[in-house]
Chain A
Amino acid sequence: MPDPREDLRATEESIVTDATRVVALEEKKMALDPADPKVDQLSSQIERIAGGIEDKAKAEQGLSAEITGDD
Chain B
Amino acid sequence: MGKSTGERGINRTRDGRLRGAVSWIDATGRRTEDTIASRMRVIPVATNGVGWDARAIVVGMEKGQGKPALVTNPSDDAIFAAHVDRLVERGAASPPELERGLRDVYPRASVHQRELAGERILVWYAYREGHWVRSTSETGGMEPDAGSSRGPTGD
Contacts and interface: CB of A to CB of B under 8 A. Distances in A.
A9 B116 CA distance: 17
Interface residues of B, number: 28
Contacts, number: 72
B75 A10 contact: yes
Given A41-B30, A44-B2, A62-B114, A13 B75 contact: yes
Interface residues of A, number: 25
Interface in B98-155: 112, 114, 116-117, 119, 121, 123, 125, 127, 131-132, 135
B63 interface: yes
A69 interface: no
Contacts of B119: 58, 62
Given A55-B123, A59-B114, A9 B69 contact: no
Contacts of B112: 2
A37 interface: yes
Contact of B71 (A41, A56, A62): A56
Interface string A9-23: 111011011000000
Nearest to B30: A41
A44 B28 contact: yes
Nearest to A55: B69
Contacts of A55: 63, 69, 121, 123
Interface in A1-33: 2-3, 6-7, 9-11, 13-14, 16-17
In order of increasing CB-CB distance, the 10 nearest A-B pairs are: A13-B75, A6-B132, A55-B69, A41-B28, A14-B71, A10-B73, A59-B123, A62-B116, A17-B75, A44-B28
Interface of A: 2-3, 6-7, 9-11, 13-14, 16-17, 37, 40-41, 44-45, 48, 51-52, 55-56, 58-59, 62-63
